[in-house]
A and B are shown apart, each in its own frame.
Chain A
Amino acid sequence: MGKDHILLKTDGLVKHFELNQGFFGRKAIVQAVDDVSFHICRGETLGLVGESGCGKTTVGRTVIKLYEPTAGKIVFDGQDITGLKEKEMLALRKRMQIIFQDPYASLNARMTVGDIVSEPLDIHGLARGPKLREQAMELLQKVGMSPDHINRYPHEFSGGQRQRIGIARALAVNPDFIVCDEPISALDVSIQAQVVNLLEDLQHEMGLTYLFIAHDLSMVKHISNRIGVMYLGKLVELAESSELYKRPLHPYTRALLSAIPVPDPDIAEHKQRVILKGDVPSPINPPAGCRFRTRCQYALDICSQLNPEMVQVGAQHMVACHLMT
């Protein structure tokens, strides 16, 4: 199983949400994700960064078919899964899983930890009766939790422990691919590192492939092989992680990187910041042409007329900006 074997590939992925505005109101269309193409190789971690509302979570949920894509194609392990019905997806659900951001909302508060972790086994008929409990205990142990806690309820655990329970639930079906949807952003700094280490260990041990979604750029850099930067539903840059940090090409990537607060007073004092003006425009009415142009200090005439295409600028480096062509 080579590293260049592509496990997941999206081609022109589009997801629009209809927003009901009142009973008789006109329907507004939120263009959450627009024409996003990327691939993830087996055993690889692809990071996806961007600010809230950029569509990164929607991408994560669409590739595992929690949302039905509006257009485009999703290919998982050579199989086109775009048009599959929920029944046909059932077998694939065992192979693709998701870990959520909020360790409080992502666990059912009325179920015991054991029930939560063993539910996937029950759904897919992978274990029955006492075997179910046994496996739940093994899973808890695998994520560093004590199997004695199997009868406790989620609210008795701290944020980091709950996140581990969420990971154990995702691992229960022995998946190939896990979407990590901001799994650490709700955790304390010292606990974040614990969870990231756990995810890395599990990746090596089980050969997992991750789509790691986050807004914390330093953590994403640490865990990802390649990183995609999203802005207002579009993928604007995609590169190997060290390449992206050393040679960011898109003006938005540059602004994003320079905005990271550095925990070093000397560097912080002399840092030249690119401060972006204003806010992210609404995805209901995104700007024509390049979506970033309203906040871009280098914007040209062409930017308001033509949407920039992704172009190859390096071995693994792609960028969508008129300045680069």
Chain B
Amino acid sequence: MKNILEVKNLSTSFFTHAGEVKAVKDISFNVGIGEAIGIVGESGSGKSVTSLSIMNLLSFPGKVINGSVCFAGTELTNLKEKKMQLVRGNEIGMIFQDPMTSLNPVYTVGNQIMESLLRHQKLNRGEARKKAIEMLSLVGIPGPENRLNQYPHEFSGGMRQRVMIAMALCCKPKLLIADEPTTALDVTIQAQIIELLKDLKDKINTSIILITHDLGVVAELCSRVIVMYAGSVVEKGTTRDVFYNPRHPYTWGLLKSIPIVNADHKERLIPIDGQPPDLLNTPPGCPFCPRCDHAMQICAQTQPPLSQLGEQHLAACWLLHPGAPRVERGR
């Protein structure tokens, strides 16, 4: 499978008055054509900053300090803003978490969808209108001809997210970055959106980067997963690798802290103790070390490298070193 996006050694920092906040530390991954990958992590893990870095949308005081983002053969990190604008919305589409604030309330929905068509595809108004109607019905909005002339406030949350997806997809982007697309939505609407994304991936062969904290959504949609913690990749692999054979204690903890719906009797939940680290002054060594049940001397001193565990499966943990004691995943 050819890759549409290759991210190599990307590091992003925010230079605040209190010091440098290392939001993303040396992460690498790639996305194949027509593939959906998930980036999982908690708030502050750097998953959203990763997507903003790819899109070159970081604003002061954030800055990409190292690494490369290669999209369809073009390096994006040093691309001029003018050229980047041709990529954004045209070749890479983006959906944000909050469908309530991502649409401009003073323009009709049709206008907002048609704007990028007029701009990027150089269509005339009639064609753009036709295309917009087609997109709205693709994302499952009934009566698209009438809905086109309505304003965002006349749409419900789920409908607005569909409009966002229609906008992101109208120029047939090769890659869609979805940043927590279902977090603000109800479960039944979330199910609708997941089905829609699945459908679009198969129908128009768009690659998808799904950024989320919900492991369930990833399991439903993605073929590969990247688990991030405190700005670093701690584990990545196929969805089956990560869900059935996780090797990093943080991934164990994440999977264990979700209650099992089908459990017959009530079991006590097993949370990950402690707090996520403050990115402003991260201790040396493994960022997960302070919360890890299996921490060793070396974990507090040196950051572990990513170890190759399978064809696609990698994890960054000293437990995987041949010299380390064998530790079994609990549960």
Binding site for B on A (CB under 8 A): 51-52, 158-161, 188-194, 196-197, 200, 215, 217-219, 221-222, 242, 245, 255-256, 258-268, 273, 275-276, 278-280
Contact in complex: B195, A188 (CB < 8 Å): no
Contact in complex: A196, B276 (CB < 8 Å): no
Contact in complex: A189, B43 (CB < 8 Å): no
Does B272 have its Cβ within 8 Å of any Cβ on chain A?
yes
Contact in complex: B187, A192 (CB < 8 Å): no
Choice from A215, A245, A258, A263 contacting B215 with Cβ under 8 Å: A263
Once A217-B261, A265-B239 are accepted as A-B contacts, the answer to whether A193 and B269 lie under 8 Å apart by CB is yes
Q: In terms of DSSP, what is the predominant structure of the interface of chain A?
A: helix
Contact in complex: B187, A260 (CB < 8 Å): yes
A280-B270 Cα distance, complex, nearest whole Å? 35
Choice from B187, B189, B219, B253 contacting A263 with Cβ under 8 Å: B219
Instruction: Show 24 residue pairs from A and B whose CB-CB distance is below 8 angstroms, ordered by the A residue.
Output: A51-B187, A51-B189, A188-B276, A189-B42, A191-B271, A193-B271, A194-B271, A194-B273, A200-B268, A218-B260, A221-B259, A242-B264, A245-B262, A256-B187, A261-B190, A262-B261, A263-B215, A263-B258, A265-B239, A267-B219, A275-B188, A276-B188, A279-B189, A280-B156
Once A51-B187, A265-B240, A279-B159 are accepted as A-B contacts, the answer to whether A193 and B216 lie under 8 Å apart by CB is no
Contacts of A159 in B (CB 8 A): 43
Contact in complex: B192, A275 (CB < 8 Å): yes
A5-B6 Cα distance, complex, nearest whole Å? 63
Total interface residues on B, CB under 8 Å, equals 47
Most B CB atoms within 10 A — which of A51, A160, A190, A266? Answer: A190
Once A261-B219, A279-B159 are accepted as A-B contacts, the answer to whether A189 and B254 lie under 8 Å apart by CB is yes
Does B202 have its Cβ within 8 Å of any Cβ on chain A?
no
Contact in complex: A158, B261 (CB < 8 Å): no
Contact in complex: A245, B261 (CB < 8 Å): yes
Choice from B43, B187, B215, B268 contacting A259 with Cβ under 8 Å: B187
Does B127 have its Cβ within 8 Å of any Cβ on chain A?
no
A56-B176 Cα distance, complex, nearest whole Å? 35
A262-B191 Cα distance, complex, nearest whole Å? 11
A221-B272 Cα distance, complex, nearest whole Å? 20
Once A222-B266, A245-B261, A279-B159 are accepted as A-B contacts, the answer to whether A273 and B186 lie under 8 Å apart by CB is no
Contacts of A158 in B (CB 8 A): 275-276
Does B248 have its Cβ within 8 Å of any Cβ on chain A?
no
Contact in complex: B216, A260 (CB < 8 Å): yes
Contact in complex: B271, A190 (CB < 8 Å): yes
Known: A221-B261, A279-B159. 12 other contacts (CB 8 A): A190-B257, A193-B257, A217-B187, A218-B261, A245-B261, A256-B188, A263-B218, A267-B219, A268-B216, A273-B195, A279-B156, A279-B189
Does B243 have its Cβ within 8 Å of any Cβ on chain A?
yes
Does B220 have its Cβ within 8 Å of any Cβ on chain A?
yes
Most B CB atoms within 10 A — which of A160, A197, A263, A273? Answer: A263
A200-B270 Cα distance, complex, nearest whole Å? 13
- Tell me the smallest distance from the CB of B221 to a CB of chain A, in Å: 8
- Tell me the smallest distance from the CB of B277 to a CB of chain A, in Å: 11
A255-B257 Cα distance, complex, nearest whole Å? 25
Contact in complex: A51, B188 (CB < 8 Å): yes
Most A CB atoms within 10 A — which of B187, B257, B268? Answer: B187
Contact in complex: B191, A259 (CB < 8 Å): yes
Does B115 have its Cβ within 8 Å of any Cβ on chain A?
no
- Tell me the smallest distance from the CB of B219 to a CB of chain A, in Å: 5
Once A259-B190, A263-B258, A276-B192 are accepted as A-B contacts, the answer to whether A190 and B240 lie under 8 Å apart by CB is no
Does B255 have its Cβ within 8 Å of any Cβ on chain A?
yes
A219-B257 Cα distance, complex, nearest whole Å? 10
A158-B291 Cα distance, complex, nearest whole Å? 16
